[in-house]
Each structure stands twice: as structure tokens, then as C-alpha cells.
């Protein structure tokens, strides 16, 4: 330790000083002794020094004991490098800032990337966990769910699993806890569910086979999430023995899961259930299934076996359609959509980092060439080539290391910002933070940067023709042709990479714009959304009570001043899972074969729904008070379904059916316009609207169209609902907020890419500028001679600009070539924009071309601004 | 400088320095003098290698040094054994004894 500390300058100075005193003390004493022996002063001094063996050599030998010689050399190099950087503080600050920004953003994105994609799920043997899912081989479509009979058959016939479990559940269910109505995410799970994840209880016990209700009985016990227990009961222990009511089913809490365990998603309550094997439900993909592969099975083997079993079952049950089993690693299922976004972000920041390195390399090259004389002088004085290289690499390394450290600080701030940013909803894998791996990554980037921009120019420079460099007058030593070529290549690469990022950003921004401008078919402004959950068991009296509840609440709401229209809808999509399309049958018409039938989404709404959203009524009537549970069911369809199922004929009075043959026939009483209230990013699908007043559908989201935003309306509505039924939880949003939420990911993607692209383009322009500056500087004399011989300034500018634009041009062409395949990868994120969108590419080209032109014109103008006489006099 | 005197055997300088300082602290010049005297001039101390050795032993914390006035009144850097240095000296002396005993045995055997 002391040896390391001894490199510190102040310790070093003290040691030197004391050594000096010590050695002089020795000499003085020896000289005194020799004088006593009768030698003259001069003789005594000479002999004393000879006996000691030369002061400089002794000093050097002593110094070697203070610290390791290599450390000493390193410190000397570092000191030299830092002095050299300090002399060029402008370069050091600029290059350092560019690098620190690039390393900081890369590191921040990497820390998220690492936490989500490189960290195993926080369960024992997480690598063996798989999601068991349904694959439709004809279309390649994957449904991340299984039907009950399929699950039981697959499980019975396979031997690749150690254990499996299935579950189904709802998000935002109405749950009564301690007399209060709250939204909760509940999950009905098979008894092995917790065992799959290797979980133990934080308090009480987990679910067992004995908890599973038999036959038609309801479950009686539940396990709750640790966080949920803390929120509602104060502690895990306090939750035990308490009761929660889910869908009128009273569940006694017998256990609390370990802190952090929420699978799937953010589950609050787990209750025991048994997978129903009812053959009629083979096509209801109600369950999510997970399994742990046995130790001796590889993922591939399991995949192959399940596929074989699934194929066999499809032959045995042709009525269920052509489907089979598929496995997905659970990690992949959990990280899902975030994974592509993260990969894209990671690639973008690495590209920006590469451009930053190329840029600093260019600056370094320009500097190194300017220093050719200094380096040549060093070489002439005996510094070996390796020494010169070491010096330049140390300089680069010092810069990169400083930038890396600043980058890590920057990254820790950025990570905190990313995690706290509402639109970023990260999958529950690991927490992004700056840990050893992340710091290693940052330092790795620094080291790689050193090689990229330190070593390459160093080797380049050390190859300089020494005698030529020495002969050059002044500081304008000409770079070798090779180093100019290298710099040109770097600039071309920067421009090309920038084009790729710019094009990607352009496409994503245009998609976002298109999304924001889409005609949704309804007016979103001024709509208050109150999501509620009225728990029912499905008995007719229950359904009647629910209808009465909503009738009462809506009636009171419509009377509130400022409310222009109010209604309810059973499932307000807006960014949540879209509803499945179901087959539509028309009474009196032969049914088309499966796959050719018209399909539609099915939604339950109340009267005034269309008036509230301002969706036009094309024909017929809206639902009204006459549509009760005692009357035959009626339906309203939208234009898309009218076109698809009835062509030009009027659908009014026709009877249709949605889904299976057990569904009732419904008479069409109205036709409304198409709209995208379920999902703004998809074209309006065909829709059948049913009247929720006829007992169809679930609880309602209440919509109120108000003349102006008024918080008292929400307060009033909450009070109406509480008075009508205190067990119904409610949550308020506005339609604009919900719409905005659906745009968060596209917005995040396009804005992040735009920022990266802007950074990259600016760096590229800076690169062009600096290279041109150097080239012009080198040719100052030649240009002056030409002008002295009569060439015009305009001609000179054109000459230089041509040279610069050639580099930019090559970069643009290469960049466009690389951008096309990248754009193709983005197809899934593009909306109403083709990946080959010519306007985007033209804009990207124009933007970079313009900044490139500016970056070449400025040095050219500067060159011709100096009168030739001045230049020639200087020589 | 007479060449008749022994050059210092490799690796023994450290041990001799420790031994010299085992009685009391001394400065560099005094250590050199003492070694010359005690060996009755038979051992030649290369003064040039004395200081690197002292500093090396100080870095290893076998010696500690402090500046204080010497008999002549001038300040000098006095070296003294640390407890670790004393233990090291015991170890080295034991090693030395074993080696010389072994060598003597071999010589006697050969005679």
C-alpha cells in the first residue's frame, strides 16, 4: 500500500527531500572523518563521493525501493500526458465532453438493458422456466395462453416437465378488503403454482392441493402479495386470518408470498383453482400456463416433444382448429416488448458512441499531425517507436478514463431519471442500477475508445517519415497521405452512421405524427372516464342489481350541470389488450366455412354511448330504456361490419350472433360510424355493440362528456356510486390521458432515437469540419500560390468544398444503403409510414448534406480570407 | 580500497543491517562504520548499496526512521528496528545457523 501511495506527488517530494538530506549528512560525516585523517578539503570531498558510488545512481536505486519501477514509469507517462492535455485544454475539454456524453448514455442504457435482458428472473432455476402456449401453425401466430383441455392433455402426455401450473385472472377486479372497495389483480392458480417458482411464504403458508375447491364449489382461502399485505394490513403477519372478498367470494388469507413475488405481472391475490377439462372449452384459451423443465431436458427437446403432442391432439380434435403447443422461455415472455425497444436503444447508443470515438480519433489525428515535429524530435532524440506510441496511448487512455468516470456519474443520474420516468414500464426482472458489471461496461467502453482513438492515430503517427517531418518549416508538418486517408474514412463512417440513425428517427417521428393525427372517429376532448368494478356472480338477480346500479348512477350523473352526455362501456381498450375477434353468423344465411366467416369485436355499452363519444348514428336507433333483460336482445353494428356482412343491403332488422352457437340471436336496431376508441393505433375493426342493460358484458367504465373540465363532477360521481353501492371501487381518468398513454412507447422510441440522431449528426458535421480544417491548413501554401498566379477566390472555395462534399457524399450513399435494412427491422413500430418512405430518406440526406456543406464552406472561406502575400511571406 | 576484503555475500546485507540495529538506533553513516569495525574490516560495505537497502527495509516496515539530533549536534536520520524487524532478524539468524551448520557438516563429511 505504501508503495502505491508513494507515487503521490507530495509524498514523493518529501521522500526526495529527506533522501537528499540523508545522503548529504553521510557525505559531510565522511568528509569530516577524512579531513581528520589529514586529507585536503578537495581530496576528502572527492573520496567521500567515490566511496558512496555516485549520488545520481544511489538516488535512482533508492527511488526504486519506494515504488515499483513500472508504476513509476506509468505515473511519469500520465503526468506527461496530463500536461500535454492541459496545454491543449480546448481539445481535452471538447473531446472529453463528447466521450463522456457518449459513454454516459451508453452506460445508462446498458444498465437498463443488463437489468432486464441479462439478469435471470429472480426465481430458483429460472433458466428452466417456460411459458406453455398455443401456436397456430397456419399463420405462425402465437397465443400466449392455453385452453383447459389442451393444458391437461399436454401435461399428461409429456415427460419433459418437472412441474407445471396454470392460472387465470383479472386485473383491476373489485375486491372488498376491511369494508373498503379497492381494485386488485387477482389470480386463480393450480396448487403447484408457487412450487414452479420455488417460492416460500413470508408469513403463513402457500396453497396446497387440499385448498383446491372440488366441483362447483368456490375457493375459500387466498395468498396475498407481501406489498399488498403491507398496504392493507400494515404487516405480513397482520394479514393472516383476514378476509378479502373477490367477486362475492369470501377468501381467508392463509399466507403472504415472499417480498417481491408478484407473478404474473403485478398480482395482488392468488386463490386456488383447478383447470377445467370441459371438452367444450377446448377453444377457450383462458389459462396462462408455466412449467419448469426437468433437469435432464433441454429447451429444444421439450419444444419438439410438445409440438409433437400438440400436432397429435390437433388431429384428434379437428373441430378445435389447427393449433399446437409451443414453449417460450419465461424470461423472453416476461421481457417481451421491452426487449426489442431495449435492443434498439442499445444499438443506437453504441452507434453514437462509435461516432464519438471516430470524432475524437479525428481530433487526435489532427493534433498528432500538428505535433509531428515534436514527435519526430523525440524520435530523433532516441525515443523508440514504442515509446512514442505509449505516450499517445497514455494520453488517449487518460482522456478516455476521465470521460468514463464522468460518464458513470452521468449514467447514474440518467438511470434514476429513466426508472422514474412514467412511460417506462420495465418488466419485473432486475432493478437497473450502477453496479460492478455496469461500471465494468463503462470502463470497457473507455478502454475500447482508447484503442479506437488513441492507438490508431498513434500507430499512424509513429509511421511518420521522420526526416521529412523535421525538414518541414514551422508547425505545418504535412500528414502522410495514409493518415489523411484514415481521417477521410472516419468521416465517411460518421456520416454513414448518422444517416442510419437520422432515417430511423425520421421514420419513427413520422409514425408518431401519423398516430397523433389519426382520425379516431370520435372526439376525445372533455371526456371523464370513471373505471368501476361491480362484482357479480352471474345470477340473473345479480345482473339486474348491477344494471339498476349503473342506471341509478348514470341518471344522477346526467342531471349534474356541465355534463352533456353520460354512458357506460364494458371494456374500454385504450392501449390494453385488444378484444378478440369473434365469428359472426347471420340468421337465415348458410354459414361460411371457418376462416371465411365475417368477424367482429363484441362490446357491451349503455344508451347514449355513441352520443357521449360523438360517434355518428348512421341508421336505426340507439339503445334505450326499452332494452331490458326481459326483451329479446338487440345489437348495433358499425359501418365496417355492415359492409363486411351485409354489403350494400340494410342490416336493420336482421338477426346476428357473435361467437358460438350457444350465443343468442340479436336483432340489429342501428348502425353507427367506425371509430378507434378501443385502440387508436389499429384501423377500426368491425364491431357488434350489445346493450349492457340486457345483462350483457361486465362492469362499466362510466364516460361523461363535459362542457369543460370540472373536478367537482368526479367528486359528485364518486359520491353517487358510494351511496348506490359502497363495494364498487372507482378510478378517474380523462380520455385524453388514456389516449396519451397509448402513445407513450411510440413517443419514447421516436424521441430517444431523434436525440441520438441529432447528437450523431452534430458529431459528424464536427468531424467533417475538423478534417477539412486540417486539409485546408495543409494546403494553405498551395492555395496561396494558385491565387497569386491568378485563380479566383470562388474557384478556390469550390475546390475545397468539392473535396469535402465528396466525403459527405460517399458517407450519404453508404448510410442510405445501410439504413434500408435497419428500417426494415423497424417495420413493427411504423404506423402509416412505409420503411421505404422516400420523403424521410430525402429529409435525412438533405439535413446531413446541408450540415456537411456548412462544415466544408466555413474552412474554405477561412482559407481564402488570408491574402496570398501573407501566407507566402510566412514561409 | 583494498580488494583483499570480502565482497558482501548476496542477501546478507539486510540481515547485517538488522543485526547492527538490534542494540540501538543509528544513522546510515554510523551503520556503515559499525559494520566495517565489527567485521574488523574483513567485510566490505558498498556504501552505494547501503541506502537502497535501508529504504527497502523501511518500506517493509522492518525499520522505522526518525530525524533527530546526533552526537555532533546535526540532525540525522536514525533507523531503529520495529518489532516486525526484530522477528525478521530472528528468522534470518535461525536460517543462517541452519545453513552454516549444514554446510559445515557437508565439509566435515567430505574431509
- Residues of chain B contacting A22 with CB distance shorter than 8 Å: 27-28, 51, 76-77
Compare CB distances from B76 to A25, A52, A61 and report the shortest one's residue. Answer: A25
3-state secondary structure A581-637: CEEEEECCCCCCCCCCCCEEEEEEECCCHHHHHCCCEEEECCCCCCCCCCCCCEEEE
Could you tell me if A30 lies within 8 Å of chain B, comparing CB atoms? yes
Tell me what the mean pLDDT of segment A343-371 comes to: 80
C-alpha separations of A474 from A374, A389, A462, A499 in Å = 11, 23, 19, 39
Choose between A381 and B26: higher pLDDT.
Answer: B26
- Decide if A612 contacts A566 (C-beta within 8 A): yes
Provide the 8-state DSSP code for B44.
E
Mean pLDDT lowest for which of A384-388, A445-449, A528-532, A608-612? A384-388
Could you tell me if A25 lies within 8 Å of chain B, comparing CB atoms? yes
Looking at residue B2, what is its pLDDT? 41
Choose between A366 and A405: higher pLDDT.
Answer: A405
For chain A positions 43-102, those within 8 Å of chain B (CB to CB) are 51-54, 57-58, 61-62, 64-66
Distance CA A187, CA A261 (A): 13
Per residue in A284-296, is it b (16+ CB within 10 Å) or e — as a string? Answer: bbbbbbbbbbeee
Tell me what the mean pLDDT of segment A14-28 comes to: 89
Mean pLDDT lowest for which of A200-209, A418-427, A529-538, A591-600? A418-427
Closest CA to A617 of A578, A659, A539, A670: A670
Smallest CA–CA separation between A58 and chain B, in Å? 6
Tell me what the mean pLDDT of segment A23-28 comes to: 89
- Decide if A747 contacts A340 (C-beta within 8 A): no
Angle at A459 between CA A455 and CA A462, to 5 degrees: 135
CA of B77: which chain A residue's CA is closest? A22
- CB-facing half-sphere around the CA of A618: CA atoms within 13 A: 17
- Residues of chain B contacting A62 with CB distance shorter than 8 Å: 51-52, 55
Residue to test with chain B: of A3, A22, A52, A71, most B Cβ within 10 A: A22
- Residues of chain A contacting B47 with CB distance shorter than 8 Å: 26, 51-53
pLDDT at B1 over 50: no
Q: Do A26 and B28 touch (CB under 8 A)?
A: yes
DSSP reduced 3-state for A192: coil
Angular region, A208: left φ>0, alpha ψ -120 to 50, beta rest: beta
Looking at residue A437, what is its pLDDT? 87
Looking at residue A479, what is its pLDDT? 47
- Decide if A135 contacts A314 (C-beta within 8 A): no
Provide the 8-state DSSP code for A146.
B
What stretch of H or E contains A545?
A: helix A540-558
Tell me what the mean pLDDT of segment A270-299 comes to: 89
- Decide if A426 contacts A345 (C-beta within 8 A): no
Query: pLDDT category, A470, cuts 50, 70, 90?
Result: low
Over the stretch A330-341, which tens digit does the pLDDT of each residue have? 998 888 777 888
Could you tell me if A386 lies within 8 Å of chain B, comparing CB atoms? no
Distance CA A818, CA B19 (A): 76
Compare CB distances from A18 to B52, B61, B77 and report the shortest one's residue. Answer: B77
Q: Please count the other Cβ atoms lying within 10 Å of the Cβ belonging to residue A738.
A: 21
Q: Do B51 and A3 touch (CB under 8 A)?
A: no
C-alpha cell at A634: 338487440
Residue to test with chain A: of B52, B58, B63, B79, most A Cβ within 10 A: B52
Mean pLDDT lowest for which of A101-105, A193-197, A600-604, A791-795? A791-795
Q: Could you tell me if residue B1 is inside a domain?
A: no
3-state secondary structure A448-478: HHHHHHHHHHHHHHHCCCHHHHHHCCCCCCC
Tell me what the mean pLDDT of segment A756-784 comes to: 78
Smallest CA–CA separation between A759 and chain B, in Å? 51
- Residues of chain A contacting B55 with CB distance shorter than 8 Å: 19, 62, 65-66
- Decide if A84 contacts A395 (C-beta within 8 A): yes
Could you tell me if A3 lies within 8 Å of chain B, comparing CB atoms? yes
Cis peptide preceding A264, ω within 30 of 0: yes
Compare CB distances from B59 to A2, A28, A57 and report the shortest one's residue. Answer: A2
Q: Do A65 and B72 touch (CB under 8 A)?
A: no
Over the stretch B36-89, which tens digit does the pLDDT of each residue have? 887 777 766 777 788 988 998 998 889 999 998 888 788 899 999 999 999 999
Smallest CA–CA separation between B59 and chain A, in Å? 7
Choose between A804 and A268: higher pLDDT.
Answer: A268
Distance CA A29, CA A48 (A): 9
Smallest CA–CA separation between B25 and chain A, in Å? 15
Residue to test with chain B: of A26, A36, A54, A69, most B Cβ within 10 A: A26
Q: Do B48 and A53 touch (CB under 8 A)?
A: yes
Mean pLDDT lowest for which of A273-282, A403-412, A622-631, A632-641? A273-282
- Decide if A748 contacts A565 (C-beta within 8 A): no
C-alpha separations of A464 from A77, A369, A390, A537 in Å = 22, 9, 16, 86
Instruction: Please give the residue range of the domain that contains residue B81.
Output: 6-110
CA of A56: which chain B residue's CA is closest? B48
Share of chain A above pLDDT 90, in %: 31
Closest CA to A442 of A792, A763, A100, A837: A100
Distance CA A488, CA A484 (A): 6
Could you tell me if B29 lies within 8 Å of chain A, comparing CB atoms? yes
Distance of CA A381 to the CA centre of its chain: 54
Q: Could you tell me if residue B41 is inside a domain?
A: yes
CA of A60: which chain B residue's CA is closest? B52
Q: Could you tell me if residue B86 is inside a domain?
A: yes
Phi/psi of residue A549, each to 5°?
-60, -50
Provide the 8-state DSSP code for A119.
S
Average pLDDT, chain B: 83
DSSP reduced 3-state for A770: helix
- Residues of chain A contacting B27 with CB distance shorter than 8 Å: 22, 25-26
Query: pLDDT category, A261, cuts 50, 70, 90?
Result: very high
pLDDT at A475 over 70: no
- Residues of chain B contacting A21 with CB distance shorter than 8 Å: 67, 75, 77
Smallest CA–CA separation between A387 and chain B, in Å? 28
Query: pLDDT category, A57, cuts 50, 70, 90?
Result: confident
Q: Could you tell me if residue B29 is inside a domain?
A: yes
For residue B49, the domain's CATH number is 1.10.10.10
Smallest CA–CA separation between B29 and chain A, in Å? 5
Q: Do A58 and B51 touch (CB under 8 A)?
A: yes
> How many domains would you assign to chain B?
1
Distance CA A223, CA A710 (A): 40
Smallest CA–CA separation between B102 and chain A, in Å? 33
Could you tell me if B73 lies within 8 Å of chain A, comparing CB atoms? no
Q: Could you tell me if residue B35 is inside a domain?
A: yes
Smallest CA–CA separation between B23 and chain A, in Å? 21
Looking at residue A568, what is its pLDDT? 93
Mean pLDDT lowest for which of A185-189, A660-664, A839-843? A660-664
Average pLDDT, chain A: 85
DSSP reduced 3-state for A187: strand
Compare CB distances from B47 to A18, A53, A66 and report the shortest one's residue. Answer: A53
Query: pLDDT category, A155, cuts 50, 70, 90?
Result: very high
- Decide if A448 contacts A353 (C-beta within 8 A): no
Mean pLDDT lowest for which of A289-303, A467-481, A764-778? A467-481
Q: Do B77 and A28 touch (CB under 8 A)?
A: no
Q: ipTM, 2 decimals?
A: 0.86
Compare CB distances from B48 to A25, A30, A57 and report the shortest one's residue. Answer: A57
Amino acid at each position: 500500500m505504501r508503495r502505491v501511495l508513494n507515487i503521490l506527488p507530495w509524498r514523493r517530494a518529501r521522500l526526495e527531500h529527506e533522501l537528499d538530506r540523508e545522503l548529504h549528512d553521510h557525505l559531510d560525516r565522511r568528509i569530516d572523518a577524512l579531513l581528520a585523517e589529514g586529507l585536503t578539503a578537495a581530496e576528502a570531498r572527492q573520496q567521500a563521493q567515490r566511496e558512496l558510488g555516485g549520488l545520481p545512481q544511489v538516488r535512482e536505486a533508492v527511488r526504486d525501493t519506494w515504488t515499483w519501477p513500472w508504476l513509476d514509469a506509468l505515473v511519469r507517462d500520465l503526468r506527461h500526458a496530463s500536461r500535454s492535455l492541459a496545454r491543449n485544454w480546448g481539445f481535452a475539454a471538447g473531446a472529453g465532453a463528447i466521450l463522456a456524453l457518449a459513454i454516459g448514455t451508453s452506460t445508462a442504457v446498458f444498465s437498463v438493458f443488463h437489468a432486464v435482458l441479462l439478469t435471470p428472473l429472480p426465481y430458483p432455476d429460472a433458466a428452466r422456466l417456460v411459458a406453455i402456449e398455443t401456436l397456430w401453425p397456419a399463420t405462425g401466430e402465437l397465443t400466449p395462453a392455453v385452453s383447459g383441455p389442451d393444458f391437461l392433455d399436454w401435461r399428461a402426455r409429456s415427460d419433459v416437465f418437472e412441474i407445471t401450473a396454470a392460472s387465470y385472472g383479472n386485473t383491476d377486479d373489485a375486491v372488498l378488503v376491511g369494508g373498503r372497495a379497492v381494485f386488485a389483480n387477482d389470480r386463480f392458480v393450480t396448487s403447484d403454482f408457487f412450487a414452479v417458482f420455488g417460492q416460500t411464504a413470508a408469513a403463513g403458508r402457500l396453497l396446497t392441493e387440499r385448498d383446491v375447491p372440488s366441483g362447483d364449489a368456490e375457493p375459500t382461502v387466498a395468498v396475498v402479495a407481501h406489498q399488498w399485505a403491507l398496504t392493507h394490513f400494515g404487516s405480513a403477519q397482520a394479514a393472516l386470518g383476514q378476509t378479502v372478498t373477490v367477486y362475492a367470494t369470501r377468501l381467508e388469507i392463509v399466507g403472504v408470498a415472499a417480498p417481491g413475488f408478484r407473478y404474473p405481472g403485478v398480482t395482488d391475490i392468488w386463490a386456488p383453482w383447478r383447470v377445467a377439462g370441459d371438452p367444450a372449452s377446448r377453444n377457450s384459451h383462458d389459462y396462462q400456463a408455466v412449467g419448469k423443465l426437468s433437469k435432464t431436458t433441454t429447451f429444444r427437446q421439450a419444444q419438439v416433444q410438445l409440438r409433437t403432442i400438440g400436432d397429435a391432439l390437433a388431429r384428434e380434435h379437428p373441430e378445435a382448429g389447427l393449433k399446437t403447443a409451443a414453449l417460450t422461455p419465461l424470461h423472453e415472455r416476461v421481457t417481451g416488448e421491452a426487449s426489442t425497444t431495449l435492443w434498439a436503444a442499445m444499438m443506437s447508443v453504441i452507434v453514437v458512441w462509435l461516432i464519438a470515438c471516430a470524432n475524437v480519433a479525428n481530433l487526435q489525428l489532427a493534433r498528432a499531425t500538428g505535433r509531428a515535429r515534436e514527435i519526430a524530435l523525440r524520435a530523433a532524440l532516441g525515443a523508440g517507436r514504442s515509446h512514442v506510441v505509449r505516450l499517445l496511448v497514455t494520453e488517449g487512455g487518460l482522456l478516455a478514463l476521465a470521460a468514463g468516470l464522468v460518464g458513470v456519474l452521468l449514467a447514474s443520474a440518467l438511470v434514476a431519471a429513466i426508472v422514474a420516468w412514467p412511460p417506462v414500464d420495465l418488466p419485473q426482472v432486475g432493478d437497473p442500477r450502477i453496479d460492478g458489471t455496469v461500471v465494468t461496461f463503462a470502463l470497457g467502453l473507455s478502454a475500447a475508445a482508447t484503442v479506437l482513438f488513441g492507438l490508431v492515430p498513434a500507430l499512424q503517427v509513429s509511421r511518420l517519415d521522420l526526416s521529412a517531418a523535421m525538414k518541414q518549416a514551422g508547425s505545418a508538418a504535412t500528414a502522410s497521405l495514409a493518415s489523411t486517408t484514415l481521417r477521410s474514412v472516419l468521416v465517411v463512417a460518421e456520416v454513414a452512421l448518422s444517416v442510419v440513425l437520422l432515417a430511423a428517427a425520421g421514420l419513427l417521428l413520422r409514425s408518431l405524427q401519423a398516430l397523433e393525427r389519426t382520425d379516431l372517429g370520435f372526439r376525445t376532448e372533455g371526456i371523464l372516464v370513471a373505471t368501476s368494478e361491480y362484482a357479480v356472480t352471474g345470477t340473473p338477480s345479480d345482473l339486474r342489481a348491477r344494471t339498476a346500479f349503473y342506471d341509478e348512477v348514470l341518471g344522477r350523473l346526467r342531471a349534474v350541470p356541465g355534463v352533456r352526455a353520460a354512458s357506460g362501456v364494458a371494456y374500454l381498450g385504450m392501449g390494453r389488450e385488444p378484444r378478440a375477434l369473434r365469428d359472426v353468423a347471420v340468421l337465415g344465411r348458410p354459414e361460411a366455412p371457418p376462416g371465411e366467416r365475417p368477424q367482429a369485436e363484441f362490446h357491451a355499452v349503455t344508451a347514449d354511448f355513441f352520443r357521449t363519444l360523438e360517434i355518428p348514428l348512421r341508421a336505426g336507433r340507439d339503445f334505450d330504456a326499452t332494452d331490458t333483460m326481459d326483451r329479446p336482445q338487440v345489437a348495433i353494428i358499425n359501418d365496417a361490419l355492415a359492409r363486411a356482412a351485409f354489403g350494400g343491403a340494410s342490416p336493420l332488422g336482421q338477426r346476428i350472433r357473435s361467437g358460438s352457437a350457444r350465443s343468442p340471436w340479436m336483432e340489429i336496431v342501428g348502425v353507427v360510424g367506425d371509430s378507434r376508441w378501443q385502440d387508436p393505433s389499429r384501423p377500426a375493426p368491425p364491431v357488434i355493440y350489445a346493450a349492457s342493460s340486457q345483462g350483457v358484458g361486465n362492469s362499466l367504465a362510466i364516460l361523461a362528456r363535459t362542457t369543460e373540465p370540472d373536478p367537482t363532477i368526479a367528486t359528485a360521481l364518486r359520491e353517487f356510486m358510494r351511496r348506490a353501492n359502497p363495494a364498487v371501487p372507482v378510478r378517474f381518468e380523462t380520455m385524453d390521458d388514456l389516449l396519451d398513454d397509448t402513445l407513450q412507447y411510440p413517443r419514447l422510441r421516436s424521441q430517444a432515437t431523434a436525440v441520438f440522431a441529432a447528437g450523431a449528426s452534430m458529431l459528424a458535421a464536427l468531424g467533417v469540419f475538423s478534417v477539412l480544417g486540417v486539409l485546408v491548413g495543409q494546403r494553405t501554401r498551395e492555395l496561396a500560390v494558385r491565387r497569386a498566379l491568378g485563380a479566383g477566390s470562388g474557384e478556390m472555395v469550390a475546390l475545397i468544398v468539392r473535396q469535402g462534399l465528396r466525403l459527405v457524399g460517399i458517407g450519404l450513399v453508404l448510410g442510405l444503403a445501410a439504413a434500408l435494412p435497419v428500417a426494415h427491422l423497424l417495420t413493427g413500430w411504423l404506423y402509416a409510414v412505409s420503411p421505404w418512405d422516400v420523403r424521410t430518406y430525402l429529409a435525412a440526406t438533405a439535413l446531413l448534406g446541408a450540415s456537411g456543406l456548412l462544415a466544408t464552406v466555413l474552412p474554405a472561406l477561412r482559407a481564402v480570407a488570408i491574402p496570398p502575400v501573407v501566407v507566402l511571406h510566412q514561409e | 580500497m583494498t580488494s583483499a576484503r570480502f565482497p558482501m555475500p548476496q542477501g546478507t546485507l539486510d540481515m547485517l543491517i538488522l543485526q547492527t540495529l538490534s542494540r540501538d538506533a543509528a544513522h546510515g553513516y554510523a551503520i556503515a562504520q559499525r559494520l566495517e569495525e565489527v567485521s574488523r574490516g574483513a567485510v566490505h560495505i558498498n556504501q552505494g548499496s547501503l541506502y537502497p537497502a535501508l529504504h527497502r527495509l523501511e518500506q517493509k516496515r522492518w525499520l522505522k526512521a526518525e530525524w533527530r539530533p546526533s552526537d555532533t549536534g546535526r540532525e540525522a536520520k536514525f533507523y531503529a528496528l520495529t518489532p516486525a524487524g526484530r522477528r525478521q532478524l530472528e528468522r534470518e539468524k535461525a536460517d543462517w545457523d541452519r545453513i552454516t551448520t549444514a554446510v559445515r557438516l557437508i565439509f566435515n563429511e567430505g574431509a
